[in-house]
Each structure stands twice: as structure tokens, then as C-alpha cells.
Amino acid sequence: MEERHPGPGQGKLYIVGTGPGDGRHLTEAAREALAAADCLIGYRTYLELLPPELLAESDSREIISSEMMKEVERGRQALELAARGRTVALVSGGDPGIYAMAGLVFELARRGHSQVTIEVVPGIAALNACAARLGAPLMHDFAAISLSDLLTPWEVIEKRLKAAAAADFVTVIYNPKSKRRTWQIEKAREIFLEERKPDTPVGIVTAATRPDEKITLTTIAELGKAEIGMQSTVIIGNSQSYIWHNLLITPRGYGDKYNLAG
């Protein structure tokens, strides 16, 4: 494959997606990048979810685990080590390309480390993993919206919630709730209630594929009663979505244009 961001050979930085948690969802490409690196950097929790053989340390191989919320520091450190000629793997849970580390690293590189060769190794994102665990909610057009208003004005988020609700997008809600982020999911519920039937199905997956995984099926009307946390992703069905057994399914289209009766 063509190098997408070829620097003059001064080290290499892989931004590696390690998937939702269960090490079985790691790709071969991610495993290769982690094995090739002489320096692994990541948020402690994501590193601890990796298969132990990938975490071996030696004189020539370093593992740097850091705390939550230190993304900028982590990204900068990864770039600096790569600029010194190291082969660095920056570990990102899920897919680094979806609401995660990839963008931040490029933004930092642009400000001072443009000589490092950077490669994004995609991973199974929360939306892929949660959809698989719920059944098949993402069979039709969907929107992904984060409720975190740390870097985005709430008005922008609210506008997107309204647009997604009105245009009948299946909607994947990232960062629905945290200790400080409490009222946003209730506001999202109100917005969807204005556009969709109260019994529209909603799936909530917490800690997808991990030992403490929890899956809840509910409706927009009942969403306020559901347990939602920092590790939860919420998927709101479109007007055609339905529950079958314990699964959330969105049909491929509108109406019965294809004959399934056979």
C-alpha cells in the first residue's frame, strides 16, 4: 500500500485501533503494528485489555501507560519519540479514526512534527461492536453524534440531534453520560420524541465484548429509566426498526420491495 504520510524516514508512528475490548477483535494489521513497535503508548485501561504477549517489555522495548484525559500529552510524547527514530505504536481503543486519537495526532504533527511518518491502523469501533451485539441496527443510513460539549457548543449538538431525528437516521450516540454529563441524554430523548414514535426501539451497550458487557433494549419513551454510563453507546432505531427476540433490527429499505417470502 502507498504510504499516505511519508516523512523522510525519521521513525514511524502507528496509531493503532485495538477494538472494543475483547482481544479477539484485534486485526492482524493492528497486531503486527503493536509487535513491530519498540515503544507502546496508551491509556492504562486500553493497554490492560491487550493480549499479554503484546505487552512484553525488554531493554529495547518500552511500554508507557498513562492516565485518562491526557490525550494531548500522549500524542505529543508519541510524536517526539518517533521523531527521535523510534517505531512507536500509540494505542487507541476502538477505531482511532472515529472520535479518537488519529485527528489529534495529525493536528499536533502539523504544529511541529511533520517529518514523522504516521499510519492509522483502523479498528473495530464502538459503533461496529455495539451494532453486532445488538443484532443489525445499522442496516440503513445513520448518524453518529457525541453528546460531549467539552469542545463543541451544545447548540451545534442539539442542531444535529434535531436533524438526525427529523431525517429518520438511525442514531448512534457516543458519550451519552458521565459524572458531569447528566442532562444531555434526557434532552436528546426529548428531541427524538418530537419526531419519532415513543415506542421506537433503542439499544444500549455498555462495555461491549468485555466481561462486564451489559445490553439493554428499551424505547425512546423509557430511555430515562435505563442505566447508562461512561462506557455506554446508545443506538436509537429509525421509523422502521423493530425488536425481534432480544435483537434490534433495522430493515434494509422502506416497504417490501424485495420478496423475502420466497
> Does 69 participate in binding its own copies (rule CB under 8 A)?
no
Q: How far is the CB of 59 from its own copies (least distance, A)?
A: 29
The interface mask with its own copies, positions 215-234, x = CB under 8 A, is x-------------------
Q: Which is nearer to its own copies, 59 or 150 (CB)?
A: 150
Count of residues of this chain found to bind its own copies when the rule CB under 8 A is applied: 93
- Binding mask of the shown chain, residues 133 to 152, with x at each position contacting its own copies by CB under 8 A: xxxxxxxxxxxxxx---xxx
The residue type found at 163 is A
Residues 170-199 that bind its own copies (CB under 8 A): none
User: Least distance from C-beta 49 to its own copies, angstroms?
Assistant: 13
* 164 makes contact with its own copies (CB under 8 A): yes
| Of the residues 44, 72, 183, 186, which one makes contact with its own copies according to CB under 8 A | 72
Q: Which residues pair with 249 in a beta bridge?
A: 136, 242
With contacts defined by CB under 8 A, name the span among 40-48, 55-63, 104-112, 190-198 that binds its own copies.
104-112
Burial of residue 62 (CB within 10 Å: 0-12, 13-18, 19+) is middle
Report the C-alpha gap between 148 and 197 in whole angstroms: 26
What is the footprint of its own copies within residues 111-130 (CB under 8 A)?
A: 111, 114, 120-125, 128-129
Query: Minimum distance from CB of 38 to its own copies (Å)?
Result: 20
Helix (H) or strand (E) holding 2: none
User: In the set 44, 156, 198, 224, which binds its own copies (CB under 8 A)?
Assistant: 156
Sheet holding 247-249: strands in order across? 135-136, 247-249, 242-244
CB 112, min distance to its own copies, A = 8
Looking at the Cβ atoms of 2 and 194, the one nearer to its own copies is: 2
Q: How far is CA 2 from CA 5, 86, 90, 193, 249, in A?
A: 9, 21, 21, 47, 38
Does 32 contact its own copies by CB under 8 A? yes
3-state class (DSSP) for residue 170 = strand
250 binds its own copies (CB under 8 A): yes
The pairing of beta strand 117-121 with beta strand 62-66: unpaired
Q: Counting contacts by CB under 8 A, is residue 22 touching its own copies?
A: yes
Alpha carbon distances (Å) from 20 to 105, 123, 258 = 21, 8, 34
**Binding of its own copies at residue 153 (CB under 8 A)?**
yes
Q: What does the DSSP 8-state code read for residue 61? A: B
Angle of CA points 226, 232, 234, to nearest 5° = 70
Q: Are 72 and 104 in contact (CB under 8 A)?
A: yes
Q: Which residue, 60 or 217, is less far from its own copies as judged by CB?
A: 217
CB of 149 to its own copies, least distance (A): 9
